[in-house]
Amino acid sequence: MAAAGKWKLFEHAKLNIANSLIDLDTHSFYIALFLSTSNIALDVGTSLLGDLTNQVATNFGYTQATGGGTGKAVTLAVSEAAGVITVDETTNPVWNAAGGDIVARWAAIFDDTAAGDPLLCFCLLDATPANVTAADGNPLTITMAVGGILTLSGATAD
C-alpha cells in the first residue's frame, strides 16, 4: 500500500482548467505510475501524458496508460464548502501484482477526454522518497490524500 503524498498541480494544468480544456466535473481521468527515473516535475515543458518519461511498463498486473481509455480509471468528485473547492478521488486505485513485482515512485493523473491527454497532478508514492513495491501476488493500492487531491480557494482581499 502506498499513501500518496501531497498532490501537486502541473503548471500547465492551471491554465488548462482556466481555459476549460480540463473539466474536473465531466471529463474522464486516469492514473499512471512512473519510475524514479521519470522526468515528472511541476513543469515538464509541456502538458501532455506522452511528454512524461519512464512510465512503469505493461507487465505483472500493470497496464501502461497511453490515453484512449487505457490504464486505471479514477473518478473525481468536486465539492464546495465555505468558499473552498475540493477535488477528490472517490476510490483508491489498485493494481494486483501477478507474475512479478510492480515497482513505482510516482503517480500522475491525466484527463483522458481532452485531446492529447493533458496532465492534471502528480505525487510521490513514498515520502522518503523511495520506490514502492507490490510483490508478486500482492496489491499496490494508492491511498489518496484524506483532505482531497486538490483544493481551490478564492482570491485574497485588498
Average pLDDT over residues 130-156: 87
> Rounded CA gap, 71 and 68, in Å?
9
Strand intervals (E) in the chain: 2-3, 8-9, 29-34, 72-74, 76-81, 84-89, 94-96, 102-104, 106-111, 119-124, 132-134, 139-143, 150-152
pLDDT, tens digit, 9 for 90 and up, residues 107-126: 999 999 999 999 999 999 99
Cα dihedral across residues 14, 20, 22, 23: positive or negative? positive
pLDDT, tens digit, 9 for 90 and up, residues 23-53: 998 999 999 999 999 999 877 666 899 999 9
* pTM of structure: 0.91
